[in-house]
Amino acid sequence: MAPFPKYERGVGLLETVIAAVILLFVALAAATIFYQGAVSTVNTKQVLEANHMAQKKIEELKALGRGNIDTIMTVAGITGPGVPYADPESTTIGNDLPATMTTTIEYIDDPADGDPGDTDYARIEVKVDWLENNQSRERALQTDIFQ
């Protein structure tokens, strides 16, 4: 049997090492992409949950109507425009991250109506803030309730 010619010897050690290094770089790039996707999914879930909590609170206050909101403001000692009423409450978001949901109600006087000093509408803002990976996150929704 004749020996193999030099050009038909097979794959050498150097080619194998180069292929392994290339495969390692491709695997690291794919792992990074998957990790970023997972982090993005978690962040999106928290933001959506914060928006949902704020929207639910706004809908509860809108369902009360302006008369009951006026009662809340009167009990708080606020009868005129320019002084906000804030009601912070502790809650959780996502995977039990501590959060604060602050509901702010403020009477607004529309200067264009020619009647200064009256309360034309109530502005409601609900803000949800939480700390995630030592970074402050916040979502806020706002609406106005007229007479």
- Model confidence over 37-50: pLDDT tens digits? 988 888 888 889 99
Which residues of the chain register pLDDT less than 50? Answer: none
Nearest-angstrom CA–CA distance, 96 and 92: 5
Q: What is the pLDDT of residue 43?
A: 83
Closest CA to 101 of 70, 134, 61: 61
pTM over 0.75: no
